[in-house]
Amino acid sequence: MRTSWADLAANSAADNASYANNAGSGNNTSAPPSRPAYVPPHLRNRPPPTAESPAPPPARTGPASGSGTGTGTGTGRWSAPRNEYRSGTGGSGHTSGWGNKSAGWDRGRDREVNPFADQDDSEPAFTDQENTGINFDAYEDIPVETTGENVPPPVNTFAEIDLGEALNENIRRCKYVRPTPVQRNAIPISLAGRDLMACAQTGSGKTAAFCFPIISGIMRGQPMQRPPRGVRTVYPLALVLSPTRELSMQIHEEARKFSYQTGVRVVVAYGGAPINQQLRDLERGVDILVATPGRLVDLLERARVSLQMIRYLALDEADRMLDMGFEPQIRKIVEQMDMPPPGDRQTMLFSATFPREIQRLAADFLSNYIFLAVGRVGSSTDLIDQRVEYVQESDKRSHLMDLLHAQRENGVQGKQALTLVFVETKKGADALEHWLYLNGFPATTIHGDRTQQEREFALRSFKSGNTPILVATDVAARGLDIPHVAHVVNFDLPNDIDDYVHRIGRTGRAGKKGLATAFFNDNNANLARSLADLMQEANQEVPAWLSRYAARSSFGGGRNRRSGGGDRFGGRDFRREGSFSRGGGSDYHSAGNSGGGYGASGGYAGGYGGPGVTSAWD
């Protein structure tokens, strides 16, 4: 406990040095100077910023300015060989040590950058903690529900599964010792070739749960015949979609570790970043494409990517991907391009929440699928101490200040513990950040009106502890793994209880404890009931005033549009619900729901009236 956060705080100061050391990789002393500007994966194939040339322009389209050392067979199809693509190629090759940070491959003799390089010596602040220190005791007695035909049995160890030598080695490098519950269950299912709809909390190893079978399957498959030269279209074998750019980046980084030296190539594509680097990455070969929908559609329309060869489709945060804003785009990608239909591909949907209506939509993408629900670490949100305080709009800022002061006193070694503050709007995020800044709090913000560079810098700065307060919109609500978030503040509560679930899930990760504070007032009346039920289910103390609100709002108002009860924390397979029990909540206790307590909240779901009523609310 003390070790990681204290060390993190201490080390974040030394971060510059470690970054330079890593980059130098023992072969140069002219590593980038002090400033360790974060270099996101898509920008990493660039020369280091130096004192003389502060930063490269964001887009570098033409052939690299770098000289062409090396033999470069097969590399420079469209331009001269680029030495920045082959970090330290050919023994003597030292481009800049910075090249070691680059994400990517050399074709030809496949010189792959080691994604574990960071963790070897000196960068504990940004690597280890997401893979280690998982409190496995918190995973005992996790309720698991699987429904569907011929469900493959779970495994208890990685050794029981034949994932292949190279992948096993990466699992070891990641310091994964035992599979988490979602991995124990999901991996055998997908190795058996089955489609899957899985409800499991992020931070419990979900990414690995879909990456391992994909990588293993690609390794086993026959090597794909490369399209003829000059044809710029690439044919990934697996597609992983996620709702935000930062989440796609995170998945990509993880997938790169899992696929290291397996011959399986992972490329990420998302908006807000220059497309040219992504195009080059694609041209160098892609087996697994991780993408956000907009950029992928762009690539498909440019015919730079074809989905014809897709064997695996994974949707992360799948309920989000299928909700109103995203559904048309996802349908276009999955149903109206050239992707093989369900049955001819393997489809895996993952999320922590899976509202019934969304399950219904998702079923279109699936074939004879298995529904898997894995209760949250600690079998609910036990690990997150949830508090709700009644705060008028006009008092929110001073109230937040009180919380932050308290948090500051809890800080370690002069560093505040990380606090993630969610607000409803982008403008509100900027305004709050500015106000915090004026009041001497080190805050930054992430939202969709910021440039991608700003977003990535903000996230990096927060993770490192340099800016221990992050004001965020829902862009940061889902999936992001930010170790050491001690406190999530719902400065503005969301309108949807599922969003609340995802937001507070940014803390209390990997079996560690977390704190979540929500500011509630009359504007949130419609959330009262679902919030009170949720908290009760998670063994939290529900303030009496909130219960009164909940009781009031239960007359007609207050049910959540999207979400029936029991969809949280694993939820339940909508196929199990008979036509009369659509109304939700009525048959939670039926046989087969092994969830001791989870998913069993009748509660606010009662009266949720199925499609008819849903449309009345919409």
Partner DNA sequence: AAAAAAC
State phi, psi for 62 to the nearest 5 degrees.
-65, -175
Could you say whether residue 283 binds DNA (CB under 7 A)? Answer: no
Could you say whether residue 290 binds DNA (CB under 7 A)? Answer: no
Could you say whether residue 301 binds DNA (CB under 7 A)? Answer: yes
Nearest partner of 162 among 216, 208, 108, judged by Cα: 216
Q: Strand 485-490 to strand 418-422: parallel, antiparallel, or no bridges (unpaired)? A: parallel
- Cα 386–Cα 560–Cα 540 angle in degrees, nearest 5: 20
- Are residues 41 and 105 in contact, defined by beta-carbon separation less than 8 angstroms? no
Rule CB under 7 A: choose which of 96, 183, 244, 517 binds DNA: 244
Could you say whether residue 298 binds DNA (CB under 7 A)? Answer: yes
How many whole angstroms from its chain centre is CA 192? 25
Which is closer to DNA, CB of 292 or CB of 444? 292
Residue 54 is encoded by which pair of tokens? 């502060």
Closest approach of Cβ 461 to DNA, in Å?
A: 17
- For DNA, the binding residues in 317-346 under the rule CB under 7 A are 323-326, 329
Could you say whether residue 292 binds DNA (CB under 7 A)? Answer: yes
Closest approach of Cβ 220 to DNA, in Å?
A: 31
Rule CB under 7 A: choose which of 270, 441, 574, 588 binds DNA: 270
Closest approach of Cβ 398 to DNA, in Å?
A: 23
With a CB cutoff of 8 Å and minimum separation 6, the contacts of 366 are 195, 197, 342, 347, 349
Residue 368 is encoded by which pair of tokens? 């004879």
Could you say whether residue 68 binds DNA (CB under 7 A)? Answer: no
Rule CB under 7 A: choose which of 112, 283, 382, 449 binds DNA: 449
Which is closer to DNA, CB of 59 or CB of 177? 59
- For DNA, the binding residues in 39-58 under the rule CB under 7 A are none
Rule CB under 7 A: choose which of 35, 220, 360, 427 binds DNA: 427
Closest approach of Cβ 489 to DNA, in Å?
A: 17
Q: What is the 3-state secondary structure (H, E, C) of 10-49?
A: HHHHHHHHHHHHHHHCCCCCCCCCCCCCCCCHHHCCCCCC
Rule CB under 7 A: choose which of 153, 448, 596, 611 binds DNA: 448
C-alpha to C-alpha distance for 502 and 474, rounded to whole angstroms: 9
C-alpha to C-alpha distance for 555 and 368, rounded to whole angstroms: 39
Q: What is the number of alpha carbons within 13 Å of residue 388 lying toward its C-beta?
A: 25
Could you say whether residue 249 binds DNA (CB under 7 A)? Answer: no
Closest approach of Cβ 528 to DNA, in Å?
A: 16
Closest approach of Cβ 320 to DNA, in Å?
A: 8
Which is closer to DNA, CB of 194 or CB of 463? 463
Which is closer to DNA, CB of 466 or CB of 495? 495
**Looking at 31-39, 176-184, 188-196, 293-301, which segment touches DNA (CB under 7 A)?**
293-301
Could you say whether residue 294 binds DNA (CB under 7 A)? Answer: yes
Closest approach of Cβ 495 to DNA, in Å?
A: 4
Which is closer to DNA, CB of 272 or CB of 607? 272
Our separate counts of H helices and E strands in the chain read 19, 14
C-alpha to C-alpha distance for 161 and 251, rounded to whole angstroms: 22
State phi, psi for 472 to the nearest 5 degrees.
-135, 150
- Amino acid (1-letter code) at residue 243: P
Residue 192 is encoded by which pair of tokens? 């058996």
- Are residues 275 and 224 in contact, defined by beta-carbon separation less than 8 angstroms? no
- For DNA, the binding residues in 406-425 under the rule CB under 7 A are 424-425
Could you say whether residue 389 binds DNA (CB under 7 A)? Answer: no
C-alpha to C-alpha distance for 39 and 253, rounded to whole angstroms: 13
**26 class by beta-carbon count within 10 Å (0-12 exposed, 13-18 middle, 19+ buried):** exposed
Closest approach of Cβ 242 to DNA, in Å?
A: 8
Closest approach of Cβ 226 to DNA, in Å?
A: 26
Which is closer to DNA, CB of 250 or CB of 346? 250
Q: One symbol per residue from 477 to 496: x for binding DNA (CB under 7 A), - otherwise; what is it?
A: ------------------xx
Could you say whether residue 277 binds DNA (CB under 7 A)? Answer: no
- For DNA, the binding residues in 128-147 under the rule CB under 7 A are none
Which is closer to DNA, CB of 23 or CB of 432? 432
Could you say whether residue 454 binds DNA (CB under 7 A)? Answer: no
- Give the interface size with DNA as a residue count (CB under 7 A): 36
H-only helix segments in 231-345 = 245-258, 275-283, 293-301, 318-321, 327-335
Which is closer to DNA, CB of 255 or CB of 321? 321
Which is closer to DNA, CB of 181 or CB of 494? 494
Which is closer to DNA, CB of 269 or CB of 362? 269
Coil vs helix vs strand at 561: coil
Could you say whether residue 252 binds DNA (CB under 7 A)? Answer: no
Q: What is the number of alpha carbons within 13 Å of residue 249 lying toward its C-beta?
A: 22
With a CB cutoff of 8 Å and minimum separation 6, the contacts of 499 are 474, 477
Could you say whether residue 218 binds DNA (CB under 7 A)? Answer: no
Which is closer to DNA, CB of 153 or CB of 325? 325
Which is closer to DNA, CB of 204 or CB of 248? 248
C-alpha to C-alpha distance for 11 and 126, rounded to whole angstroms: 10
Closest approach of Cβ 424 to DNA, in Å?
A: 6
Rule CB under 7 A: choose which of 214, 251, 273, 322 binds DNA: 273
Could you say whether residue 558 binds DNA (CB under 7 A)? Answer: no
Could you say whether residue 215 binds DNA (CB under 7 A)? Answer: no
The label of the residue with tokens 């948090």 reads 407
Rule CB under 7 A: choose which of 130, 287, 357, 474 binds DNA: 474
Could you say whether residue 271 binds DNA (CB under 7 A)? Answer: yes
Element (H, E) at 552: helix 544-553
Closest approach of Cβ 508 to DNA, in Å?
A: 23
Residue 582 is encoded by which pair of tokens? 């659509």
Which is closer to DNA, CB of 25 or CB of 452? 452
Sheet holding 312-315, edge to edge: 144-147, 370-374, 196-199, 346-351, 312-315, 238-241, 288-291, 266-269
Residue 70 is encoded by which pair of tokens? 């090396």
Residues that bind DNA (CB under 7 A): 243-246, 270-273, 275, 291-298, 301, 323-326, 329, 424-428, 447-449, 473-475, 495-496
